[in-house]
Amino acid sequence: MVQYDRRVLNHLLDAYENSLLSTGENKRTIQIELRFTKTSIPSYFDESSNEYENIHVLMKLLESKKLIRIIWKDNKQDYVIWKVRLMTDHIEEAYQYAGRKPKRGLEEENITLLQKYLNVEAPITAAFAGYLLERLQNHKSVKEYIELEKRKETEEFLRACVLVEQNRKSCYIREFSIRHFQDSKYFERIESRIAKVFRQFSEEYAEMDTLELLAEYGIYRTPDYVYFKGDARISIGEGIIDLSLLKQGIGISGEDLSSIRFSDLSRIKKVITIENLTSFFRYWEEDSLFIYLGGYHNRIRRTFLKMVYETIPDAKYYHFGDIDAGGFSILLDLRKKTGIPFLSYHMDLDTLKRYMQYGKRLTESDQKRLRKIGKEKEFCEIIRFMLEKNIKLEQECIGETHAVRQTVDHC
């Protein structure tokens, strides 16, 4: 059975909390009212319903307690309710009747909670808490991120954000969840919310999807592999593997990286990271080592890259990716996080012009990101062309010699 007294009162209190009345900042008289319409109270206008009289009784009860005032249609008492008005001079009693806490009290409780996270050793979480705190102190909505009524849930969410930032041990998502929350599935329920916060409060993660972002902190859904191939030999224990005999390369899990050694990289003149898996499988050059990135690199792939760089620092290091904002961003991120002087590979203006027939149109987001990256002198010429021609190019449509023919045939 619908409790129309609480329903109407809660609607009025919601409107009150969204007005300047609740903060005392109103400069003119404001009336908080609810009009009775077929949309707001449909059963009141349903001739087949018996709720009409019941609603009258409940509204009169609220009026007798001085919580609302009933305004009758055409001033005809006990005829049809036109609207009800919240009596703000009895606002505390209205909250008590509705069984809810005033918004201001909830704001204060959440402000106290958020202040605990301002100096936590987790900069993204601290920035997020500071943002929420500033909004609450100015009586602004924070519904996009938290519900004021669910303070314990908010505290658990903030704790989860901190735990992600502070994680230093590689683990699977469900292991992480049961270790910290005693529930193997809890973290999966909030991981997308955490990723949203990290993307919005750290430019570094703005373009990453949830799994890429968590991998930055060593948290994986499944074992994370590094795929590589080329003119090289690796040793695992007493065994030696000649990678040149494996056309599609080999994958090593992050847990096993420490057990491999490069026994022969003498023929390697180029180390090429490749953004997309199809291109990794199809592409080949002599005297080269190819490493699949899978979009943004993560901690395990960076560890592998640094192992290679320490072994052959004199080789040339290249990144081969999409000719778009994402590809350029990944290249810049590679340099920043590995310290390796990567150069772009087949991501230049001549390559773009050569394969223009396979290009795609830019989205508004593409254009915005390209303009930002275009401030880098290295990319200004090609990005200017991309914006003028409204074009970007996927890596799969780019190749060399026989690899070009294979790739183009499939584009």
Domains of the chain: 4-98 (1.10.10), 103-219 (no CATH), 224-409 (3.40.1360.10)
- Separation of alpha carbons 67 and 90, rounded Å: 6
- Separation of alpha carbons 49 and 60, rounded Å: 19
Read off φ and ψ for residue 244, nearest 5 degrees.
-65, -20
Is residue 291 within 8 Å of residue 268, measured between CB atoms?
Answer: no
- Separation of alpha carbons 141 and 23, rounded Å: 13
Tell me the residue type at 372.
K
Report which of 373, 323, 370 is spatially closest to residue 348, judged by C-alpha positions.
323
Beta bridge mates, 235: 240, 261
Report which of 69, 140, 80 is spatially closest to residue 110, judged by C-alpha positions.
140
- Separation of alpha carbons 69 and 49, rounded Å: 24
CB atoms closer than 10 angstroms to residue 102 = 17
Tell me the residue type at 363.
T
Q: Say whether pTM exceeds 0.75.
A: no
Beta bridge mates, 274: 292, 320
pLDDT tens, residue order, the chain (411 aa): 679 999 999 999 989 888 877 666 665 678 999 999 999 999 999 887 788 889 999 999 999 999 999 999 998 988 899 999 999 999 989 999 998 888 888 999 999 999 999 999 999 999 999 999 999 998 888 999 999 999 999 999 999 999 999 999 889 999 999 999 999 999 999 999 999 999 999 988 988 899 999 999 999 988 888 999 998 999 988 889 999 889 899 999 888 888 888 888 889 999 999 999 999 998 889 999 999 988 777 888 888 999 999 999 999 999 999 999 999 999 999 999 999 999 999 999 999 999 999 999 999 999 999 999 988 888 999 999 999 999 999 999 886 433 433 333 444
